[in-house]
Amino acid sequence: MQNIVWSAKNNAFFYELDLVYYERAGWDISDVIPISEQVFQQFTNPPPRKIRVVGPNGLPAWGDAPPPPPPTPEELQQQAEYEKRQLLRLVREKIDIYQDAVDFGMATGDEKRLLDAWREYRIILYRV
């Protein structure tokens, strides 16, 4: 097993044998300290809504992840269009069922009213 080190400056773990490659690449790893396998395992897979930060003692710690950015206008538009398509699919299914009952002369008064209501809703939905 390789020795693992921690760099607070980089908020990163490194395998000790790889440090030479990071130095050659220009990384400042002058602050590395040995770290246990247990600490490495604990701080490599963040819990939900957490990010690894450097704690006040210079060791890894969990901090709150920043909230996601608000959706862009384009994302909101895409979401609205998706929801509209889903609603239209549902409306089509409902209308088909009630229309079949009407076409076969099997519709009750309630089913006829529901057919009219679903058709009206479809018109309103298309206008959105």
pLDDT over 70 percentage in the chain: 99
56 and 101, same structural domain? no
Q: For the beta carbon of residue 6, count every other beta carbon within 10 angstroms.
A: 22
Residues in the chain: 128
Task: Decide: residue 73, CB within 10 A, 0-12 exposed, 13-18 middle, 19+ buried.
Answer: exposed
User: Looking at the structure, do residues 60 and 13 belong to the same domain, yes or no?
Assistant: yes
Cβ atoms 51, 61 nearer than 8 A:
no
Mean pLDDT of the chain: 97
Question: Domain tally for the chain?
Answer: 2
Boundaries of domain holding 47? 4-64
- Check residue 1 and give its pLDDT: 66
Do residues 34 and 3 touch, judged by C-beta distance below 8 A?
yes
Q: Is it the case that residue 52 has pLDDT exceeding 70?
A: yes
What 3-state DSSP class applies to 69? coil
Residues 8 and 53 in one domain: yes
pLDDT 10s digits, 112-123: 999 999 999 999
One-letter amino acid for residue 33 of the chain: I
Q: Are residues 40 and 77 in the same domain?
A: no
Asked whether residue 11 falls in the same domain as residue 59, the answer is yes
Percent of the chain with pLDDT over 90: 98
Give the residue-averaged pLDDT of 35-62. Answer: 97
pLDDT for the residue 2: 83
